[in-house]
Structure 1
Amino acid sequence: MLHILPETAGDIMVLQATGKLTTADYQDTFLPLLEEKVATHGGVRCLIYLDHDFKGLEVGAMWEDTKLGLQHNRDFIRLAVVGDGAWLDWALKLGALFIKGETKHFTENQFLQALHWIDAGD
């Protein structure tokens, strides 16, 4: 499941991923928010927090993730992935492959640093 966190404002998107992400998470939550932010601000700064209960993506969600990366690769100014474990490597490799902006990972206890990082720079 994907949750929009209260730190989301302006060109900043802050999301928490828990359990398994589904196609609906992309189509009903991530994509509408991304398209609204891009239409308003021209690009986004995104932080995705993979919480301790994050289990990965369902097959349909993997396809949605790939499509999103291909269609919106130039829309990300910065992408921070926050969390611990094996999913971090996967998320960062995928981000670096599809995202033209900067990508960086942070551990869970560096959440605030990640938030400051996406907000800094151009």
Structure 2
Amino acid sequence: MIQIINTGKDNLISAKISGKILKNDVEKIHPLIHNIIKKGNKVDFYFEMEDLEGYTLKGFWEDIKVDSAHISDYRKMAFVGEKKWQEWSAKATDFFTSSEVKYFDLEDKELAKTWITS
């Protein structure tokens, strides 16, 4: 499940993620990306992951489609989590994108919020 968090920052998509990520969860983020790039901005992401189990197959496929369509539209990504596999996932994301990607432990989420808004 993805819960969008309003930050008041025009180019930042912020979300709390838990459980399984479904196709319709990813579909909620896609129009937000479009709204930011229509204004001529690059997209920043703040993803706070707690009790995240991963993706459903359709959710994973939808995420790959969105990312492949917009990978050059991303600027910074902050992944905040609690598990080693989440840190590895952030490192893998960093490998496939020219965006600046950082992983933060859950207890460092305030540091992550400061980094993503700078």
TM-score (norm 2): 0.90
Per-residue deviation, 1:98: 3.4
1:81 aligns with 2:79: yes
**Cα gap change, 1:71/1:98 in structure 2, threshold over 3 Å: closer, same or farther?**
farther
Per-residue deviation, 1:73: 0.6
| Structure 1 equivalent of residue 104 of structure 2 | 106
Poorly superposed stretches of 4+, deviation over 4 Å: none
Unaligned runs of 5+ in 2: none
Look up the equivalent residue of 1:23 and give its one-letter code.
K
Q: Which shows bigger deviation, 38-47 or 104-113?
A: 38-47
Aligned CA-pair RMSD: 1.5
Deviations 1:12-57 (A, max 9, x none): 1111111100000011x11111111121242111111111x21100
SS of the residue corresponding to residue 74 of structure 1 reads: helix
Contact 1:43 1:77 in 2 (8 A): yes
1:93 aligns with 2:96: no
Unaligned runs of 5+ in 1: none
| Structure 2 equivalent of residue 21 of structure 1 | 21
**Cα gap change, 1:68/1:93 in structure 2, threshold over 3 Å: closer, same or farther?**
farther
Contact 2:91 2:101 in 1 (8 A): no
Q: Distance in 1 between matches of 2:75 and 2:82?
A: 23
TM-score (norm 1): 0.87
Q: Distance in 2 between matches of 1:31 and 1:12?
A: 13
SS of the residue corresponding to residue 4 of structure 1 reads: strand
Contact 1:20 1:54 in 2 (8 A): yes
Q: Distance in 1 between matches of 2:93 and 2:20?
A: 18
* Count of aligned pairs: 118
Deviations 1:31-88 (A, max 9, x none): 111111121242111111111x211000011111211221111111100100110331
Contact 1:11 1:41 in 2 (8 A): no
Look up the equivalent residue of 2:96 and give its one-letter code.
F
Look up the equivalent residue of 2:105 and give its one-letter code.
T
